[in-house]
Each structure stands twice: as C-alpha cells, then as structure tokens.
A and B are shown apart, each in its own frame.
Chain A
Amino acid sequence: MAQRFLFRLALVAMLLSAAPARAQSNIGIASGAKNQVEGVVGGQTQTIAVGTNVFGNELVRTGPDSLAQLLFVDQTSLSVAPQSEVTLDRFVYDPSRGAGTVALRTTVGAFRFVTGAQNPNSYQIETPVATISVRGTILDILVYADRTVVIVQEGQATVTSLRTRLSYELTTPGTALVVWASGRVEGPITWDSTIIKVNGSVPFPLFGNTIWPDQHDLFPGDNRKFLNDLLNADRQSSGCSPGSVLVTFNGRSFCSP
C-alpha cells in the first residue's frame, strides 16, 4: 500500500517538476551547485543552479573551483568535483519494486557516487577505460584520460577493464583499484590518503589528509646538525685516541679502553 503510494508520489513529483520545454525525462535535480556548473542537453547549454532539473542524456560539467551534487528520485546522489564531466545516460526507477537501472558515463574528473534505494545491482558507471558495477554503497571515482581509480569507501564494486574485458572485485572498504587504458590493472591497494580535489567541506576522495603524499617530511629522525654537534663535542671533549670514547661514570669522565 505504502509502496503504491510512493510510486504515485514519485511519478507525480517527476511530472510536476519536468520543465515543459524539455523533451527529455527529468530524472532528478541539482541539489547542490557552486560556481560554474553547466548542463548540456539536446545541444543546448544551460547554467545549473541549485534546484535545476537534470535529464536523461544530459551532460553535466563543472568548472575550476566549482562543485555540484545531483540527487535522483531513488535517493542516489552523485557529487561532482571541480573540472569534471558526467553524462546521465539512463535512469529507470520503479519505486514499487525498488528496482531499475542507473547508468552514468564519466569522461574526466572526480566523483562520489552514493547509491540510493534501488537494488544494489542496478548501478553502472562507465569511464573511458572501465565499467564499474556498483554493488552499494559509497564509491569515489577518479577519472583520467589514461586511467580510472575506483576507491570503495563502503560496500563493494566490480570493475571491468574495457580493454581486456576482465573483471575485478573490490570488496574491502578503504582500498582502490587502478585500471589503465592499456588494460593493466593494479590493486586492490590501500588508498594512500591523497586528496585529489577539495572544494569547501567536500573532499575527493572522502577520506584523506594530504594533497600529495609526503608533502611534508616523512621521517622524524634527529636533525643532523644536532648529531654533528654531538659527535664533534664527543670527539673534541674526549681527547681520546681513535676508537676510544669518553665515558661518564658516577659524575667522572674518562676514556674507554
């Protein structure tokens, strides 16, 4: 009963919010938009602001220092980092069965994909070098021309190289899989805490603490000025022969044998 009610509610909401000028189906909205966010649909470019409808087959892109979050009727959300592009290929959702299909195509940038209420096997994301079948629930995806990095923060994913058609499972949160255009696949590896993009309080990936690893000195050793000073003092003070050192015992110092 409740499901039927929800289905009708979803249907009504979609119909009500659809822009009359658009032939394409409205599948969600821009629930967040900061600075330069654009949508291209049917050859027309529009500025995307908070609350703007997004449509099937729409290309959404962000400029430098920009950020967007797209929210869909099934509660799926996609956070889009600065200088990123994604096309909303296909969105089908039947709330009465909690099933459907969500297909996105990313070409460049960084994204955070949070699955909604659909069956976990309903989500598929395509990148220039790989296809990602999301099996819930939070994925960070970094898309470059020559590689795709998939980091699973919660849940699991299956990543397939477009070149080799081989599939790889990513099942441990905090690990990443790297798929290269050549077909080479690395991982799963523990993500090294590098933050690739940051805007406001939204980092990509979700967890990390350095812009580049080891940006600051990695090793906490003693400063060598101190070591040299110490050694010079040791040698200078002892006046001992080579191989012998100054020994302090009970407050008195002498050269070791």
Chain B
Amino acid sequence: MRRHLIFSLLLSSLLAAGPVAVLAQQPPVLAIGGAEELARLNLQILRAPTDPALNLRYAALAESLGLNRLALAAYERILMADPANLAAQLGIDRVRAAIQPSTTQYTVEGGYLWESNPRYTSIPSTHGRNQFVGGLNITDERTVDGTRWRSTVDGVLHEYAGTGVSDLDYGRLGGVTGPVLWVNPALAVNPGLGVAGAYFDHRWFYAEVSANATFTTYPGGAEQALTLRAAYRDYNHTFFPGTQGGYADAIGKLTFPDVFPDTAIGLSPWVRLSEIAGGVGKGVFLPFIATDLQPGDYLDLGGKAQILHSLYDEALVLGASFSVGGRFYQSVEVPGSTERRKDVTLSPGVQLIFPHFLAYQNDLRLGYQYSWNHSNVPINSYRDHVINVTVVARF
C-alpha cells in the first residue's frame, strides 16, 4: 500500500515534469500602434489612472512594442487598485518572465558546531563533540528558448574533529534540474529530475535518483511553496541495510512577511514516507537481536516554525524556532512486545544573525538548539544540545 503511494507520488511528480496545461504566454492580440499611440494612452491614463481597460490597452501595446518595463508598471498599477484582475495577473507574470534576468547564485556556508550528544544515546557521554560543517548551494536560473530553467546543486559536509564519533562523518552532493512553468496566473511549478550521492561512516553510502515538483505561489508577494519528491536509493551493499529503498516526501515552505514590523514568520511542515526496508529480521540470521531492524522503514510527520525579527536597519536579526516531529517506525519493534517504535522530537532553538558581516550578503550566524526525543523504546530517548557558529556567503 505504502509502496503504491510512493509510486503514485513519483508518477505525479514525473507527470508534472511533462507538458502541463500552461496558459498561453502571449499578450492579447492588438493592433500595433507605435510610440505615439503609447504616449497618447499614457496621457489618458494620467487623467484616469484606475481605468483598467485603458491600462490594459497601454500594457498590451507596450508588450507588443517590446517595452516590457512599461507594461510591468501598468500591470502593477492595475493590481494595486484591483488585485483580482485576471488579465493583469496574467500580464504581470508574462512580463516578469520576459524580464527576469538569468542569474547564478552561489551560497557557501562553513563553521563550527559543538554537540553534547551526537550519537543520540539515552545516556550521553560526559563531554560533547566538535564538528566542522560546510555547505554549498548553486542555483542557476535562465531562460532557454523561452522557457525558464532552474538548476540547483546542493552539498553538505559534517566532519567530526578527533576520534570517537568520526564514524558519523557525513557528506552529500546532489543536483536537480527542470523548467519553471506557470500553470495559472498565480501558480508556478518547477518539475525536476535529480541525482545525489552520499558518504557516511567512511564509506560510500548511496546513490539516489529523484523526481521533484515544487509548486510556488506568491500571494501578497511572499513565496509559498510545496515540494513533492519521490526518490529511489541504491545503498552501498557493504552497509547495513545494504539494499535499495525509496522514499517520498512533501515539504511546505510558508512565509508570512511583516506579521509585525520587521518581523517574518516561516512555517515548514513536512511528511516523509520512507521504505528503506533493508534489515535483518529477528531470529532469522541473528537470533540474539531482539527486534526487527529496519531503521529506514518509517513515516515521519512534523513541522518547524521560525520567527525572525530585524533590528537596527537589518544590522541584527533575532530568530527563534520550534520544531516538532513524530516518527512512526513500521518494522522496528519495542523489545518484548509487538508494538512498533514511535519517537516524538521537540526542538526549540534561538538564532542571532549578523547580516552583511564583513561583506554584503555575508552573514555571521550564532545558534543554539535543544532537542528532546522521547521514544517508546527507552534506549532511544535522548537529549541533545547544539551550539553553532557559521558564516554564510552569498555571491
């Protein structure tokens, strides 16, 4: 049943990557007037700025003359008076797409992290561990043959200092590419195909292919997005569980700007269904194992709320977050019972961000996060404190 769900999601993501019902991307047909006609219409608009028909005529003529900037201003004007004007919504999306520059954005993050309980054990060691973290994101957006195309590369690296927990060293590099299509005036979809690879425990970990579809809308100008992903992994066969597995997830990204002055709220709900079923059943090969070990076979539900408040003309940003998640293992049993393992994790955190630290678009970030995990398998309950100092550069 769950496998069926994963494949349904995979299919829907792939379908989204195909030729969806994109609305016509052409401006309304209109007799070409010329610059003089445009100037004449502008003078009329000066007398009747809220006349939508007049503004639409002006915008359509400007578009047909290749003067997208003038059309943009006209559509903005209409939408300021009438946010529901469909023709203006279509028009502004069309000219925005025509104007939007091609860009390649690099984001690099590096820093230090101290963690009290990196192994997430119920009885943590008496001293914490240090690790170095690094990350990379490259987002390229450009218009190719009239279609907006987005490609991203993401990488992350966690390297523990010293010995003891270095088997937790982890790295991942992946990329996704696909077109950005407007399915209606208010909704864009970015279907994409992705590949990724990871190492873990000083070994090659897995290779992954994925189908992604991100739905984005901008009500009120702020981005609201939903990403659906279905992925299939081929694990290193020397690793337990050395097998293939798939997962599907949905991640929301809701942004509420200016809830209070200079304050934004972000919400990120998620759900993941993982069917990495590789494992060793109890009593099959290793009879001393009390439980069926399939740690990648679970349903995970949760969400993160974050509030950010800017002070002193964006010289300092204060942040607070709270995430809650529940993981429901499908195969892992509570010792001595047939009950399945369930974990609930609560994680509050605070952040101090110094934007434009040393250079513009460089941030210094200080953070603290506490995690409290309760499991019905007591040995898997844990508490963890994390303090991090990182620098993020965007260029």
Contact = CB atoms under 8 A, between A and B. Distances in A.
A218 B50 CA distance: 42
Contacts of B12: none
B168 interface: yes
- Size bracket, chain A contacts: 35 or more
Nearest to B105: A190
Contact of A237 (B170, B240, B345): B240
Interface string B84-119: 000001001000100111111111010000000011
A207 B148 CA distance: 14
- Size bracket, chain B contacts: 35 or more
Given A50-B49, A198-B222, A246-B240, A13 B293 contact: no
Most chain-B CB neighbours within 10 Å: which of A178, A207, A218, A225? Answer: A225
B392 A217 contact: no
Given A212-B308, A237-B280, A201 B360 contact: no
Interface string B230-241: 000000011111
Contact of B360 (A51, A172, A189): A189
Contact of A6 (B36, B310, B343): B36
Interface stretch (A99-107, A123-131, A158-166, A227-235): A227-235
B220 A198 contact: yes
Interface in B33-49: 35-36, 38-40, 42-43, 45-49
Contact of B100 (A33, A144, A207): A207
B348 interface: no
Most chain-A CB neighbours within 10 Å: which of B102, B156, B200, B361? Answer: B361
Contact of B105 (A33, A149, A193, A198): A193
B101 A207 contact: yes
B248 to A, nearest CB: 15
A22 B352 CA distance: 51
Contacts of A42: none
A125 B199 CA distance: 53
Contacts of B27: none
B243 interface: yes
